[in-house]
Structure 1
């Protein structure tokens, strides 16, 4: 495995798609999917384009994508695509949305790349975990190393919510200021970058988290599933289209006892 080639491919593919999406930003009509989320022709085009690029460059790798195939394939290596994370922001003209690619080995993410064209930020990371792979380890934003914050909570630190987790606000006082960004990947990546102390996603799908998983952990943050059992490895032949993965990410282990009781309401 040539990891520089993997990084170069992910960068080139997401940046190329991002340039076209910027042309459509705020200009396309959105339709509602069965789960209540929005989709545009731009989502579908980006999904098809990324699938085509992967099939050409990595013909032996599996692919799971938001807009087409949700069944996890049997290949050792698989790319998971979120062609446009933050479609509501994209359709309404709010400049926080992105494109993500996660690379899984035997069902577990080991590399992730997330590109946010409007704010010109690109995150990537390598996390071998228990894979046994010889590979780099680290998390980066625009090529610079990032790390989770060592700070204690205060009224001048941030914690991110998603739109489906606002019930947490009923538990006052909350130890940090609250932010809501509308993009699952970026929501969690701000913890990896040291900008926030924690973030929660109540109903993320596998394409929302596959690319973020290795970046967050390589940055030293803690990933805490809010349902029993591990998220990874994924199981070949299983359909992940309708399955959510409630998740809490915090910047350091000591903050689990601070935030986990407050987000427990989401798993009830």
Structure 2
């Protein structure tokens, strides 16, 4: 798997922590808007994303930023250059519904793709003081006490933790759209839904969940894909094909002017492909 020479893990992590600090401050003075798809956006989403763009974009290295709130402002040429080259992929606040409801189940996600391939990621959870990041082909995690951990407190995650995902107590995570439109039959383990994907990604990393079955936007998935890839997890689609980690192969950008860049199929994550295949058979 590729590692990026442009990914400065400590810098990215410090940036994520600054974004989190701003988001927490803005949470006390919320204003919300309703998007055309009936989802909500807050003033913090826009502010945090603009801060991320200023911090992470680098014209001298041809590094751009794709963000949930600003992707529709890009020209077609700008988007194509980003997708073929080097870009950060930002979800400024993953879990806007709990964020706006003052529930701590939200986080900030920063993925990175080099030459069009997803290769690095960072997720911070300000509400639970947890963080995970990739560095030199490995994944690191820590939980702080009353605040996000310092960078030097992050410790390497063992790939063997994913073996715990098979325990019968571990639940399969599905998204709200799947819960509202699909029928589940014959599944032998528990199922839960979420309003943010960052929590399932981190807890799957730690072996505390069975897997993920969800339709995801690229800003939902990029960081988590890189984080799990380092640990040997399988990522694929409901049609049985594995993820390529190539932005233009795994995601559909044809509706980006409407703010959409969804995975080409429902995405499935587990420690083995066989588990993904069995879940696909149970969800119709």
Q: In structure 1, what is the equivalent of residue 261 of structure 2?
A: 243
| Equivalent position SS for 1:119 | coil
Q: How far has the Cα of 1:181 moved from its partner?
A: 3.0
Structure 2 unpaired stretches of 5+: 143-153
| Equivalent position SS for 2:8 | helix
| Equivalent position SS for 2:88 | strand
| Equivalent position SS for 1:149 | helix
Q: Does 2:86 match 1:77?
A: yes
Q: In structure 2, what is the equivalent of residue 67 of structure 1?
A: 69
Give distance in 2, aligned partners of 1:168 and 1:199.
16
Post-superposition CA distance 1:173-219 (Å, at most 9, x none): 532222223112322332222110111213x1111111111111112
Q: In structure 2, what is the equivalent of residue 97 of structure 1?
A: 106
Q: Does 2:8 match 1:6?
A: yes
Q: In structure 2, what is the equivalent of residue 130 of structure 1?
A: none
- CA 1:50–1:57: 2 relative to 1, 3 Å: farther
Give distance in 1, aligned partners of 2:201 and 2:27.
23
Q: In structure 1, what is the equivalent of residue 213 of structure 2?
A: 200
Q: Does 2:146 match 1:137?
A: no
Q: Is the 8 A contact 2:171 2:191 kept in 1?
A: yes
| Equivalent position SS for 2:177 | coil
Post-superposition CA distance 1:6-33 (Å, at most 9, x none): 1112111110111121123364132221
- CA 1:121–1:255: 2 relative to 1, 3 Å: same
Q: Does 2:179 match 1:191?
A: no
Q: How far has the Cα of 1:171 moved from its partner?
A: 2.7
Q: In structure 1, what is the equivalent of residue 129 of structure 2?
A: 120
Give distance in 1, aligned partners of 2:4 and 2:169.
42
Structure 1 unpaired stretches of 5+: 127-135
Post-superposition CA distance 1:112-158 (Å, at most 9, x none): 011111111111125xxxxxxxxx21222122233353247565222
| Equivalent position SS for 1:183 | coil
| CA RMSD, 1 decimal | 2.9
Q: What number of residue pairs does the alignment pair up? A: 254
Q: Is the 8 A contact 1:198 1:248 kept in 2?
A: yes
Provide the TM-score with structure 2 as the length reference.
Answer: 0.79
The equivalent position to 1:224 in structure 2, one of 218, 225, 236, is: 236
| Equivalent position SS for 1:150 | helix
Post-superposition CA distance 1:25-52 (Å, at most 9, x none): 3641322212222100000000111111
Q: How far has the Cα of 1:170 moved from its partner?
A: 3.8
Give distance in 1, aligned partners of 2:165 and 2:205.
15
Q: Is the 8 A contact 1:192 1:220 kept in 2?
A: no
- CA 1:105–1:55: 2 relative to 1, 3 Å: closer
Give distance in 2, aligned partners of 1:58 and 1:45.
24
Q: How far has the Cα of 1:228 moved from its partner?
A: 7.5
Give distance in 2, aligned partners of 1:235 and 1:2.
19
| Equivalent position SS for 1:16 | helix
Q: Is the 8 A contact 1:199 1:248 kept in 2?
A: yes
Q: In structure 2, what is the equivalent of residue 39 of structure 1?
A: 41
